[in-house]
Amino acid sequence: PMQGTVWVPCGTMNLMLGLLLFVGTLLYSYVEALLKLLLPVKRKNVRGEATAREFARCQSRLVLWDVEAHGLKETATECEGLGATVHTFVVDCSKREEIYSAAEKVKKDIGDVSILVNNAGVIAAADLLSTQDHQIEKMFEVNILAHIWTTRAFLPTMMKNNHGHIVTVASAAGQFVTSFMVAYCSSKFAAVGFHKALTEELTSLGKDGIKTTCLCPVFMNTGFVKNPSTRLGKILEVDEVVKALMEGILTNQKMVFVPPQLSFALVSEMLIPERASNVLKKLTDVKFDAIVGHGSNQ
């Protein structure tokens, strides 16, 4: 029989090699995830790095920003009592120029920021037509634009050193939609998207020393939302959310769900047909006080 040379186009060969690399990486990732479940993950040393009470227990150096001076002073006093060195700045995180100005003061007077935690957030629980224009603007200014401005302010030094950690405090409302929170959900979806896009960009730039973490908790007992309830379980206490976030930062987790079962709900939402998914949402029976229509309560 005649023998010949099998010619495989270069593009096809590259595609096949890429698929083999994908399969190998996929298998490696599953094995790595299994090992992390079975073995304790090494935690990073955060001595000398930043954020409030839990970091204060690590004898950290904290730079705290808040729009309200009295609450800022109380938090600073509490953190100092836990052993932290604390610097405070009154900053309105809805104002870009205030963020940039405070960031310059921090860099000049204190030094490099190793861990940036974007934690500011506001909400107006109401149907879309009852939500005022200024409320929508404020939610986007604080819940997402402030994250971008602070990151732009502190990222250059992190890039130069290839070292740092950027934390985005988002919400379960950035993964799952909820009625009477259209503007809030939109801003939190934007925050989650910002985290994912920033993570991808840092990877593309080869800045593997800069870590990112995004926190997505359900309702917390903070008064942020009035009278929340759900069949999914109890309303979270702040301390348990903070501990989950700290663990996520110390072990370089990309996404932290509180409670962790939210990650399964996210997967099931993609797999379950829409009609069945809607029935499941009704079973969760999420409730909270909101303005619906012309001032009526729901």
Active site residues: 184
Continuous H helices in 112-228: 133-140, 146-161, 182-204
Continuous H helices in 82-180: 96-109, 133-140, 146-161
Running DSSP on this structure, what letter comes out for residue 227?
A: S
CA dihedral 228, 269, 200, 26 (to 10 degrees): 130
Cβ atoms within 10 Å, residue 122? 17
DSSP 78-95: HHHHTT-EEEEEE--TT-
User: What is the C-alpha radius of gyration for the chain, rounded to an integer number of angstroms?
Assistant: 22
Contact 210, 196 (CB under 8 A): no
